[in-house]
Copies of this chain bind each other. A is one copy, B any other.
Amino acid sequence: MNVYEGPVQDVIDQLGRLPGIGPVSAQRIAFWLLDQPADDVHQLAEALTTLKQKVRWCSVCFNVSQDELCRICSDPRRDRSAICVVEESKDVAAIERTHEFKGLYHVLGGSLSPIEGRGPNELHLRELVNRLADQQVTEVILATNPNVKGDVTATYITRLLKDLPGVRVTRLASGLPVGGELEYADAVTLGRAFNGRQWMTS
């Protein structure tokens, strides 16, 4: 129900369309914005406009980018022998935060999901195979999500790449989250932790 006058209701309606923001949060944000300096609100509006104007996708790895090549692909310090395959740009950010990986990425643009109409042609799979053609890459790390769709996608890619000479395909370990407690782990995760158990003595 539209109980507010024009501009306030417009902002509430627009904010309410964003994922994870319900009508109550939208209202709260709208009134919070009313209390902010006009410059701050202008900056938010500008950032949104710039987002759509300036952001593109890296022509090599399909990560978000400002230029033809993303920051990672154009960084000469990155290890060009390893490619980490992820579903979305968000996953690149998550992995970058770990500082564990110094190679390159390949963003698929989702996972295989026949139900949602996403088959192999909807993902950037051909481009991945093309990147492996020059034999510089020796490891492809599959970092799709540890769920059914991510697993199916990882299995598909494994089969796709299995005959490529000199390329090892690996998959991120599944297991108990660090800091968690065994008693609260779900059975599937605990089962994977068992299957993936590692030597403590050699």
Binding site for B on A (CB under 8 A): 1, 3-8, 10-11, 13-15, 17-21, 25, 27-34, 38, 40-55, 64-66, 70-71, 88-90, 92-93, 96-97
Contact = CB atoms under 8 A, between A and B. Distances in A.
A11 B96 contact: no
24 contacts: A3-B92, A3-B96, A3-B97, A4-B93, A5-B65, A6-B66, A7-B47, A7-B66, A11-B47, A14-B43, A14-B44, A15-B44, A17-B40, A18-B32, A19-B32, A20-B25, A21-B21, A21-B25, A21-B29, A27-B93, A33-B48, A33-B51, A34-B55, A41-B51
B44 A48 contact: yes
Contacts of A28: 19-20, 90
Contacts of A7: 47, 50-51, 53-55, 66
A11 B65 contact: no
Contacts of A96: 3
A14 to B, nearest CB: 5
Contacts of A1: 97
B51 A10 contact: yes
A93 B1 CA distance: 10
B50 A33 contact: no
B66 A31 contact: no
